[in-house]
Amino acid sequence: MGGWQSALAPGGASAEAILGLFWPVVALLGLIWLLVLLVLGAGLLRRAGSQVPRQAYLVIGAATIGTVLVIIGLTTASYLVTRPIAAAAEAPLVVQLRGLQWWWQVTYREEGEAAAFVTANELHLPLGRPVRLELSAEDVIHSFWVPNLAGKQDMIPGRDNVLHLTATTPGTYRAQCAEFCGMQHAHMALLVVVEPAEDFARWRAAQAAPVPAEALAAEGRRVFEQRPCGACHTVRGTTAAGGTGPDLTHLASRGTLAAGLLPMTRGALAAWIADPQTLKPGNNMPLVPLSADELQALTAWLASLR
């Protein structure tokens, strides 16, 4: 129910556990609500004397005790569900996730033979393996929420938070910033791709690699390096090594552009570069004046960075 950004369609252990608590709680509380309305209706229909019946004290006392019991039960159930969710697993995959206005920086650490690398706005996770997400924020508070996999966790400047999760169903899920973070809070999404371990390993190796040699020969690369693009963006293998914008080394391998704003197509790339402020008002990417030829070359080159 609800698709690729829904707490009702779990694809991870935490989300499953939470949903397993959610439905019984909804049923129980819904029943209590109905009961209150039924008593109200019955009371209104009833023809009786001018006094409140004596037994009312007993009934109210019993109902209050019932409330207390329900609450004790729900508190205990909550606690029991929280414990495994919060618990750290053995040898998890560690990924650092940093929130910025208005995109996500994703850092995979070196692990065994896999090299470290930085990417943006897309997270790939191996199926079934516990993941430890280390969450931080660059500027203001953001909140990482991929409802199909787990509950949300805030990213707070000056504090380090951790979210443990394990994906159990392969697929592509959408995460979206859940803490109001300014102008483009609405356009701060991230794709989470859950794939089998071997696919994940392949993806990881490809992402860690710099731009392939044939791409370096392209005209678009020259435009990229000559224009101020490199002041903010990194493309590994070129001279562009800026750190304030997303790493673009394998830009075209991602599903979306500008933190979930647009699908990753050549047309979207051209539109984005030509006028980022109309598509995502207030974002930190300036309009860089380019000739039509330059724009075409640059777009073609970026679209080749797979």
Partner 1 sequence: MIPDQRDMGLDDAALQAALRRVWSSRGGLLGALASVDHKTVGRRYIVTAFAFLLLGGVLAMLMRWQLAQPEARLMGPDRYNQVFTMHGTNMMFLFAVPVMEAMGGYLVPLMVGTRNIAFPRLNAFSYWVYLFGGLLLWGAFLLDMGPDVGWFAYVPLSGPQYAAGKRADIWAQMITFTEVSALAVAVEIVVTVFKQRAPGMSLDRMPLFVWAMLVTAFIIIVAMPAIVTASTALILDRLVGTHFFNPAEGGDVLLWQHLFWFFGHPEVYIIFVPAVGMVSAIIGTFCRRPVFGYLAMVLALVGIALLSFGLWVHHMFTTGLPRLGESFFTASSMAIAVPSGLQIFCWLATLWGAQPRMAVPMLYVLAFFFTFVLGGMTGVMVASVPLDTQLHDSYFVVAHFHYVLIGGAVFPLLGAIHYWFPKVTGRMMREVTGRWACGMIFLGFNLAFFPMHILGLWGMPRRVYTYQPELPWAGLNLFASVSSVLLAGGFLLFFWNAWRSARHGAPAGDDPWGGPTLEWATSSPPPPWNFTRIPVVESVSPLWDAREALPVAEGLRLDRRELLITSLMDATPEARDSSPQDSIWPLLAAIATSVMLIWSIFTPWAVVWGSIPVAITLIGWFWPRGTPEDES
Residues 243-302 that bind partner 1 (CB under 8 A): 260-261, 281-282
100 forms part of the interface with partner 1 (CB under 8 A):
no
User: For residue 102, is the peptide bond before it cis, meaning its omega torsion is within 30 degrees of 0?
Assistant: yes
- Provide the angle, in degrees to the nearest 10, between the axes of the packed helices 56-86 and 13-45: 170
- Point out which span in 73-81, 91-99, 107-115, 235-243 binds partner 1 (CB under 8 A): 73-81
Report the site for partner 1 in 47-66 (rule: CB under 8 A): 47-53, 56-57, 59-60, 63-64
137: left (phi over 0), alpha (psi -120 to 50) or beta: beta
Window 134 to 173, contacts with partner 1 (CB under 8 A)? 139-141, 143, 145, 147, 150-154, 156-159, 161-162
| Least distance from partner 1 to the Cβ atom of residue 112, Å | 29
DSSP helix/strand/coil, 193: strand
Q: Which of 27, 36, 116, 197 binds partner 1 (CB under 8 A)?
A: 36
Instruction: For residue 74, state whether it binds partner 1 (rule: CB under 8 A).
Output: yes
Three-state secondary-structure class, residue 207: helix
Containing 224, the helix (H) or strand (E) segment is: helix 219-226
Q: Which of positions 8-27 make contact with partner 1 (CB under 8 A)?
A: 8, 15, 17-18, 21-22, 25-26
* Rounded alpha-carbon distances, angstroms, from residue 242 to 110, 201, 233, 251: 21, 27, 4, 15
Binding status of residue 121 toward partner 1 by CB under 8 A: no
Q: Where does this chain touch partner 1 (CB under 8 A) — which range of 80-88, 193-201, 268-276, 290-298?
A: 80-88
CB of 183 to partner 1, least distance (A): 5
Cβ-contact 56, 62 below 8 angstroms: no
Residue recorded with tokens 């209590």? 32
